[in-house]
Amino acid sequence: MSRLDRWSSLREGAISPADLSAALGTRPRRLGLFRSDTAVDGRRELLRGMPFGAILAAAGERNRVDSLLLAAVVETESRFAPQAVSHCGAVGLMQLLPSTGQDYGVKDLRDPYANVDAGSRFLRALLNRFQGRPDLALAAYNTGPEVVARYGCVPPYRETRDFVSRVLRRYGQHQHALARVSVPRPGELRAAAGPSRDVPSSRRSEGEGLAR
């Protein structure tokens, strides 16, 4: 069969003119794997105005931790000071102990990229251990996972409870700000949706609840 005959058979049966027109004329739709593109863009927009925002955004997406939660931890722990060292020897943006840095293969905890990468991986491990509960993960970040496991709740230590409260309050403020910047205009909604027959609206929402 010639190339022309094969094309003719496609036109007559396998692919309808409407399907061909839709395939060639429709802009590709972008679907986020774990959250909507609007939410991803909103986070990046908020982080762009923060010190080390690009590092926080990349670490959050790479290690599956909400980058706004990372920002709240950094703000609370070091106020974005990469050279900060606490009285107990915690170092850098996310105030990691040298032993934690060693666990994640980091030699220089004053390096912002390495510090945030190790800190976000550590926080991801804590979220996994405590069933995704940010209050328990943050308490474990502050006082140690075995202490939190022993109590089964945020331990009754003033420093730990104050730390968890301050981080979650700041995280909530970031989420409220995200809600304001992530609401697309009606025209953007229509452009992003594409032809309604491609993916039913009920299916488009799948996976967006997993946004971090």
Domain count, the chain: 1
Query: Which three-class secondary structure state does DSSP give residue 91?
Result: strand
The pLDDT of residue 199: 40
Structure confidence at residue 163 (pLDDT)? 98
Q: What range does the domain containing 95 cover?
A: 32-180
Which residues form the catalytic set?
77
Cα 118 from Cα 73, distance rounded (Å): 13
Within-domain flag for 47: yes
Nearest 10 degrees: CA dihedral of 135, 141, 145, 151? -40
Is residue 110 domain-resident? yes
Cβ(69)–Cβ(178) below 8 Å = no
Q: What is the pLDDT of residue 107?
A: 94
How is residue 30 annotated by DSSP? P
State the Cα–Cα distance between residues 73 and 167, nearest whole angstrom. Answer: 6
Closest CA to 44 of 194, 197, 174, 208: 174
Residue 133 in any domain: the answer is yes
Residue 116 in any domain: the answer is yes
Q: Quick check: is 164 in a domain?
A: yes
In a domain, 71, yes or no: yes
Element containing residue 73 per DSSP (H, E): helix 67-77
Which CATH number characterizes residue 107's domain?
1.10.530.10
Residue 189 lies in a domain: no
Other beta carbons less than 10 A from residue 66's beta carbon: 23
- Strand-pair partners of 96: 91
Rama region for 13: left / alpha / beta (φ>0; ψ in -120 to 50; rest): alpha
At 6 the pLDDT is 46
Query: Tens-of-pLDDT digits for all 212 residues of the chain?
Result: 554 454 444 444 444 555 545 444 444 444 333 445 667 888 999 999 999 999 999 999 999 999 999 999 999 999 999 999 999 999 999 999 999 999 999 999 999 999 999 999 999 999 999 999 999 999 999 999 999 999 999 999 999 999 999 999 999 999 999 998 866 555 544 544 444 444 444 333 333 333 44
Phi, psi of 140 (to 5 degrees): -65, -35
Q: What is the pTM of this model?
A: 0.70
The answer to whether residue 141 sits within a structural domain is yes
